[in-house]
Amino acid sequence: MTDITPSGASLLVQDARTQKRNRAEARFKMYGLAAIAVGLLMLVILLTTIISRGTGAFQQTYVTLEVPLLEAKLDKKGNRDLADIKKVSTFGYAPLMKAAFEEKVAAAGIETSLKSKQMAALLSKDAAATLRNYVLQDVDVIGQTIEFEFLTNSRVDGYLKGRVSRDSMANDKSINAAQLDLVDALIADGSLRKRFNLDFITGADASDQRPEAAGMGVAMIGSFFMMLVVLALALPIGVAASIYLEEFAPKNWITDIIEVNISNLAAVPSIVFGILGLAVFINYMHLPNSAPLVGGLVLTLMTLPTIIISTRASLKSVPPSIRDAALGVGASKMQSVFHHVLPLAAPGILTGTIIGLAQALGETAPLLLIGMVGFIASNPPDGITSGLMDPNSAMPAQIYEWAKRADPAFYERAWGGIIILLVFLITMNAIAVLLRRRFERRW
C-alpha cells in the first residue's frame, strides 16, 4: 500500500512543456496589464494637467466699488434723452471709475501713493462697458450711487491665482508694486475677492486686452447650431443610404465600388473637407463666411461615412430570420425593413450617430478654412436664422484661438475651454454607451 499524500497537494505533476506554456500565459497577462497601466497613466497625466491648468478659468477676481453715476459726466443736458446718453462712449465712463476707486480707498482707510488713474487701471477694460450697458438700460439711475462688482484686469487676477508674483512682474509695465500693495489692502478689506465666474461658460469672446472677460458661451452656441445642421442632414441621408445599400441594392461591382469609397471617405483627413467646403459652399454657392451653417455642412460631409458604416453594421446584425418571418406572413420588403429591421437596429444607429456627432464637435481643422477662427464669437445670435447665418466660432476653434494669444491669461482660458469641451464629449459618449446597454438586443 502506498501512503496517502497530504491533502491540498495536487497529484498532477507539470511537465516542463506545460510549465513553459503556463509561464508564457502569465507573461502575456502581465504585458496586457502593463499596457493598460500605461494607458491609464497617460489618461491620469492628461486629466490632471487639464484640470490643474484649466480650473483657474472658472474663477475670476472681482472688486466691489460704489460708483457715483454723475449727471455732469453722463447726461450733460440733464434731459435723460437716450440718444444723448448713448453719445458718451466707454471712455467717458473712465472718470467715474477713478472717482469710485478714490472713494473706496478713502473709505477703507488705505494709504497709497497711487494716482486715481493707476488705481482704475486695476479694473478690467470691460468694467466701463458693464457700467455703460447698465446706464443705457435704465437712464433713471443717473445721479445715484450704485454698488457694482467689476472684473479686475488679468494681472491682478494672475496675482491672486499665483501666476503673477512680485518677482515676475519686475519688467511688466502693466502693473507695479504699489498697485499690488493696494490689491493686498483691498483683499484685507474684503472688497476684492476671487469667486466663481459664470461668464466664462455663458459669455462672448473678448479682445486681446481683456482676457478676464472672455467666455465660451457664444462659441458653444455656434457648436450647437453646427451640430443641429449635422444631425438634420447626416442622420436622414446616412440612414437612407445605408438602408438602401444594405436591404435593397443588388450586390454587384457598382455597390462594391460605393462601399470601398465610403470606407475611404471615413479615413480622409478632415482638413480636406474644409478645403472642399471653402471651394463649394463659400466660393461657388456664395454662402456667408464664418457661418455655422457652412461649418455644419462641412462637418456633415465628414460625419456621413461614420454614420453610414455604423448603420450598416447594425442593420447587418439583425438576424435574417426576422426579415424572412416578416416576408413569410406577407409583408412587403419595405414593410419588413421599416416595421421590423429598422426598430431593432435603432439603438446601434443612434449610438453611431452620437459618436459621429461627438467626433464632429471636436473638429477644428476644417473650421480654419471657412473662417471660423479669429475674433468672431462676439455677438450672441438672436434667433435660428441668425444662429445659422451670422459669423460664429465653435468650441474647439475658440480654444485654438485662445492658445495663440499673447497674454498668458488666455492660455488658462484655453485649458478651461478644454474642460468644457471634454464635459460635452464625455456626456455624449456616456449617452451612447447607455443607449447601447439599455436597448441593444443580442441574438
Instruction: Please report, as a single letter, which amino acid is at residue 296.
Output: G
CB of 74 or CB of 326, closer to another protein: 74
- Residue 343 in the binding site for another protein (CB under 8 A): no
The span from the CA of 220 to the CA of 218, in Å, is 5
Q: How far is the CB of 224 from another protein (least distance, A)?
A: 11
DSSP one-letter string for 281-310: IIIIT-PPTT-HHHHHHHHHHHHHHHHHHH
Strand-strand pairing, 59-68 and 192-196: antiparallel
The span from the CA of 318 to the CA of 347, in Å, is 12
- Residue 362 in the binding site for another protein (CB under 8 A): no
Q: Do residues 367 and 373 touch, judged by C-beta distance below 8 A? A: yes
Query: Which of 301, 309, 389, 435 is the binder for another protein (CB under 8 A)?
Result: 389
Q: In what order do the strands lie in the sheet with 192-196?
A: 145-151, 59-68, 192-196
Q: Do residues 301 and 369 touch, judged by C-beta distance below 8 A? A: no
Contact range with another protein by CB under 8 A, out of 27-35, 44-52, 102-110, 171-179:
171-179
- Residue 212 in the binding site for another protein (CB under 8 A): no
Query: Which of 2, 7, 10, 171 is the binder for another protein (CB under 8 A)?
Result: 171
The span from the CA of 397 to the CA of 407, in Å, is 18
Query: Which of 19, 22, 89, 335 is the binder for another protein (CB under 8 A)?
Result: 89
CB of 296 or CB of 348, closer to another protein: 296
CB of 104 or CB of 210, closer to another protein: 210
- Residue 419 in the binding site for another protein (CB under 8 A): no
Location of C-alpha cell 492628461? 46
CB of 110 or CB of 276, closer to another protein: 276
- Residue 202 in the binding site for another protein (CB under 8 A): no
Contact range with another protein by CB under 8 A, out of 53-61, 137-145, 163-171, 181-189:
163-171
CB of 185 or CB of 431, closer to another protein: 431
- Residue 49 in the binding site for another protein (CB under 8 A): no
Query: Three-state SS for 59?
Result: strand
Query: Which of 72, 267, 406, 442 is the binder for another protein (CB under 8 A)?
Result: 406
Query: Which of 49, 145, 207, 261 is the binder for another protein (CB under 8 A)?
Result: 207
Location of C-alpha cell 437612407? 240
Q: How far is the CB of 225 from another protein (least distance, A)?
A: 10
Q: Do residues 415 and 57 touch, judged by C-beta distance below 8 A? A: yes
CB of 97 or CB of 388, closer to another protein: 388
Nearest alpha carbon to residue 62 among 127, 129, 132: 127
Residues in Cβ contact with 98 at an 8 Å cutoff, skipping those fewer than 6 apart: 116, 117, 119, 120
Location of C-alpha cell 497709497? 112
Nearest alpha carbon to residue 412 among 169, 162, 47, 55: 55
- Joined grid coordinates for residue 130: 458693464
- Residue 174 in the binding site for another protein (CB under 8 A): yes
Q: How far is the CB of 370 from another protein (least distance, A)?
A: 10
- Residue 129 in the binding site for another protein (CB under 8 A): yes
Query: Which of 168, 264, 332, 335 is the binder for another protein (CB under 8 A)?
Result: 168
- Residue 284 in the binding site for another protein (CB under 8 A): no
Query: Which of 272, 276, 280, 287 is the binder for another protein (CB under 8 A)?
Result: 287
CB of 174 or CB of 263, closer to another protein: 174
Query: Which of 259, 374, 419, 425 is the binder for another protein (CB under 8 A)?
Result: 374
Residue 216: phi and psi, rounded to 5, are -100, -10
DSSP 8-class letter at 194:
E
Query: Which of 192, 302, 373, 420 is the binder for another protein (CB under 8 A)?
Result: 373
- Residue 408 in the binding site for another protein (CB under 8 A): yes
Q: Do residues 415 and 390 touch, judged by C-beta distance below 8 A? A: no
- Joined grid coordinates for residue 1: 500500500
Cβ atoms within 10 Å of 244's Cβ, excluding its own? 12
**Interface positions with another protein (CB under 8 A):** 86, 89-91, 125, 129, 132-133, 164, 168-174, 206-210, 228-229, 231-233, 236, 282, 285-291, 293, 371, 373-376, 378-379, 384-385, 388-391, 403-408, 411
